[in-house]
Amino acid sequence: MTQEEINNTNWSQSVAGVCIKDGKVLLARHTYGSGNGRLIIPGGYVKYGEVPEEALIREYLEETGVRVKAGRLIGMRFNAKDWYAVFAVEYVEGEARSDGDENSEVVWMDTTEALKDDTVPGLTKTMIECTLSGTGFELTPYQTSHPGYLYTQQS
């Protein structure tokens, strides 16, 4: 990561996404931090000037080689120092591959296997379950003079 990329990253905002295609979920084996060696859903930090959906699409492509479209918001974590948003995402195109840096491998794993696999952390399993259930908040159009998105519970 260049100094410019470091300076342009909002370290208090992060996103991730669950991509399920043909009964398989896309997971990346993390190479650092608390996720080292574990299969997690792809994601990363938001850059200044980006909205979460843009960051998610960029991070997915950088880390996995797969282009996705952000869907419903399925999870949100807030604490005193940061926030983390998780989306269900739709596969658009691309061949899954490791970025050779933040992950050592990228795999399509059967969702049933992923929910049983000991190398898949609990948070990732919970987000897979939320995606499979079809619940979450949908993007709701609205007018504003500032860029942003509104998610609401749909009935």
Q: What pLDDT sits at residue 6?
A: 84
CA of 108: how far to CAs of 25, 82, 146, 149, in Å?
5, 30, 37, 30
Give the separation between CA 47 and CA 22, rounded to whole angstroms: 31
Residue-range domain boundaries for the chain: 3-153
Q: What pLDDT sits at residue 155?
A: 53
Topology adopted by domain 3-153: Nucleoside Triphosphate Pyrophosphohydrolase (3.90.79)
* Residue segments in the chain with a per-residue pLDDT below the cut of 70: 142-149, 154-155
Q: pTM to 2 decimals?
A: 0.89
Neighbours of 76 (CB within 10 A): 13
Q: What pLDDT sits at residue 34?
A: 86
Q: What pLDDT sits at residue 104?
A: 97
Q: What pLDDT sits at residue 146?
A: 65
* Extended strands (E) in 62-142: 67-78, 83-93, 103-110, 137-140
Q: What pLDDT sits at residue 121?
A: 96
Q: What pLDDT sits at residue 153?
A: 74
Cβ pair 149, 51 in contact under 8 A: yes
Give the separation between CA 102 and CA 154, rounded to whole angstroms: 35
Give the separation between CA 37 and CA 83, rounded to whole angstroms: 24
Q: What percent of the chain is modeled with pLDDT above 70?
A: 94
Residue type, 33: G
